Amino acid sequence: MHHFTYRDGVLNAEELPLDRIAEEYGTPTYVYSKATLERHVNALDSAFDEIEHLTCFSVKANSSGAILKLFGEMGIGADIVSGGELFRCLRAGIPAEKIVYSGVGKSADEIRYALDSGILCFNVESHSELLVIDRIAGEIGVQAPVAFRINPNVDPKTHPYISTGLSKNKFGIPHEEALDLYREAMSSANIDVMGIDMHIGSQLTDVKPYREAAERLRDLIVSIRNIGVNLRHVDIGGGLGIRYDAEEPPAPSAWAEMVIPVFKDLGIRLVVEPGRSIVGNAGVLLTRALYVKHNGPKTFVVVDAGMNDLSRPTLYGSHHDILPVDETSAGTVEVDVVGPICESGDFLAKDRAMPLPKEGDLLAVMSAGAYGMTMASNYNSRPRGAEVMVSGDTAKLITTRETFEDLVGREI
């Protein structure tokens, strides 16, 4: 669900026409709906009210400072995968004690920064990482809070690039090695073993893999407690899908109803890490048609947003609906919507049936709130676009458009 709808023939973000945003802030621009963000946070968080829990937004999905600040004010935490994301969260006012640190490649400097900041927990992904955390915690003179990310070897039935719970993926610790690692960690004076973690993949549209993985994790929790480790939380990750095209993703309540019964009688706190399901449909990429080009039987609509602005179609072959800002009753034609990048892989849609835009028309690339700006680049020396937050009939610029000077500002 989202607050992007047509009013009087013009696509609006909440109560504000998108053409007015383009007129004031230019294109390409990411536009977010505050009401949608709030509704999705409340839906995800309230779904788990039956059990003690902490919702930690997955910052890699969207790291805009204004969005993180909003989430912090709403009382949720954050799931991070880098020192930069930690910096962003702390700067936005999210308390360190509500931050979990995931990721396979934490550097020594990042680990030290997180320990100094007092984060809730590291999700440890390897024995080697545990040794580094142990050493740094000893040097600082603190106990490092850790959970081990266990790879349950469950097929999440999603795109292979965003599958993370199979044994062939780089993430997590093999299920059969977990007990030995917990024993080792428990013997260290520098380690506080507080939890267990899993994350099986992203853009999941079936909750059954969650249940299978959760049941495997529950059995492991019982075994770990039997060797004397007092696990206080279980982190079940995130990955709940959204509708881009014809998918029928489960509601947050269905996810919660699938996993809460598995853990409820263990007297353990549940940590969840939703990302895409909160921000994905809360944002659009606003772009303008530059040219309409005919190459034999092919028709190309060349727009001013490219794969550097939204890489998902190029990277994953992902579908994003593309809607005209000014609604039209004209018939549809089959087109490729492409950007200005010098790559044949630079496209936002291929063989898409849609009303043929005129040069200068505005288009809204839907479901662009997750993995949009966070994955944007300066390829072809293109400045990254602006970000705008809409609340009611008011727009606020939350990230300025980069300039040419910004492109070279770090060069010596």
HEC string of 14-63 equals: CCEEHHHHHHHHCCCEEEEEHHHHHHHHHHHHHCCCCCCEEEEEEHHHCC
Entry field: residues in the chain? 412
- The pLDDT of 73-78, averaged and rounded, is 98
Inform me whether the pLDDT recorded for 256 exceeds 50: yes
Tell whether the model's pLDDT for residue 391 goes beyond 70: yes
- Range 213-232 average pLDDT: 92
Please say if the pLDDT value at position 74 is more than 80.
yes
* 332-338 and 347-355 strand pairing: antiparallel
pLDDT of residue 170: 56
Residue 188 CA neighbour count, 13 Å, CB half: 24
The least confident of 114-128, 232-246, 266-280, 344-358 is 232-246
pLDDT at 163 over 50: no
342 labelled catalytic: yes
Q: Cα-atom radius of gyration of the chain, to the nearest Å?
A: 22
Please identify which residue in the block is written with the tokens 């809607």: 323
Q: Is the pLDDT of residue 379 over 70?
A: yes
Cα–Cα distance measured from residue 21 to residue 169, given in angstroms and rounded to the nearest whole number: 42
Q: What integer best gives the mean pLDDT of the chain?
A: 93
What is the structure's pLDDT at 169? 57
Kindly state the average pLDDT of the residues 117-133.
97
What confidence score (pLDDT) does residue 174 get?
87
If you average pLDDT over residues 258-268, what whole number do you get?
A: 94
Nearest to 123 by CA among 92, 166, 78, 72: 78
- 281: CB partners within 8 A, 6+ apart: 1, 2, 36, 40, 242, 243, 366, 367, 369
Q: Which of 399, 391, 203 is nearest to 282 (CA)?
A: 391
For residue 208, what pLDDT is reported?
81
Q: Which of 33-47, 195-209, 291-305 has the lowest mean pLDDT?
A: 195-209
Locate CATH 3.20.20.10 in the chain. Answer: 63-274
The CA distance from 117 to 95, in Å, is 9
Q: Evaluate if residue 168 carries a pLDDT over 80.
A: no
CA gap 151, 156 in Å, rounded = 12
| Cis ω before 152 (30° cut-off from 0) | no
Q: How confident is the model at residue 210 (pLDDT cuts 50, 70, 90)?
A: confident
**CATH for the stretch 63-274:** 3.20.20.10
Average pLDDT estimate for 210-218:
87
E strand or H helix at 334, and its extent? Answer: strand 332-338
Give the pLDDT mean for 201-225.
86
90, 101 in Cβ contact below 8 A?
no
**Residue 199 has what pLDDT?**
87
The residue among 199, 264, 291, 270 whose CA lies nearest residue 237 is 199
**DSSP H stretches of helix in 148-187:** 178-186
| Span(s) in the chain for CATH 2.40.37.10 | 4-32+280-408
What percent of the chain shows pLDDT beyond 70? 95
Pick the catalytic residue: 56, 89, 121, 342?
Answer: 342
Query: Does 330 have pLDDT greater than 80?
Result: no
Which range is least confidently modeled, 29-43, 181-195, 205-219, 296-310?
205-219
pLDDT of residue 171: 64
- Amino acid type, 315: L
Q: 285 and 237 in contact (C-beta within 8 Å)?
A: no
pLDDT of residue 162: 40
Q: What does the pLDDT read at residue 329?
A: 65
* % of the chain with per-residue pLDDT over 90: 82
Instruction: Count Cβ neighbours within 10 Å for each residue of 310-341 and write b for 16 or more, e otherwise.
Output: bbbbbeeebbbbbbbbbeeeeeeeebbbbbbb
Does residue 161 surpass a pLDDT of 50?
Answer: no
Question: For residue range 233-248, what is the model confidence (pLDDT) as tens digits?
Answer: 999 998 888 889 888 8
Which CATH architecture fits 4-32+280-408? Beta Barrel (2.40)
Return the pLDDT at 159. Answer: 40
Q: Which residue has the tokens 């001013």?
A: 304
Q: Is the pLDDT of residue 400 over 70?
A: yes
User: How far is it, in rounded angstroms, from Cα 62 to Cα 316?
Assistant: 18
Q: How confident is the model at residue 355 (pLDDT cuts 50, 70, 90)?
A: very high
Number of H helices, E strands in the chain: 12, 21
Q: Which residues of 237-266 are buried (b: 16+ CB within 10 A; e: fewer)?
A: bbbbbbbbeeeebbebeebbebbbebbeee
Q: How confident is the model at residue 166 (pLDDT cuts 50, 70, 90)?
A: very low
Structure-model confidence comparison of residues 149 and 249, the more confident one: 149
Dihedral, CA atoms, 398, 399, 401, 405, nearest 10 degrees?
Answer: 140
How large is the average pLDDT for residues 136-157? 86
User: Do residues 213 and 54 touch, judged by C-beta distance below 8 A?
Assistant: no
Q: What is the pLDDT of residue 294?
A: 94
Q: Which of 82-96, 106-120, 163-177, 376-390 has the lowest mean pLDDT?
A: 163-177
More confident residue, 331 or 1: 331
pTM of the complete model:
0.93
Question: How far apart are alpha carbons 203 and 164 in whole angstroms?
Answer: 11
pLDDT at 164 over 70: no
pLDDT at 412 over 80: yes
Of 32-41, 155-164, 352-361, the range with the lowest mean pLDDT is 155-164
Indicate the Cα dihedral angle 300, 305, 310, 314, nearest 10°.
Answer: 30
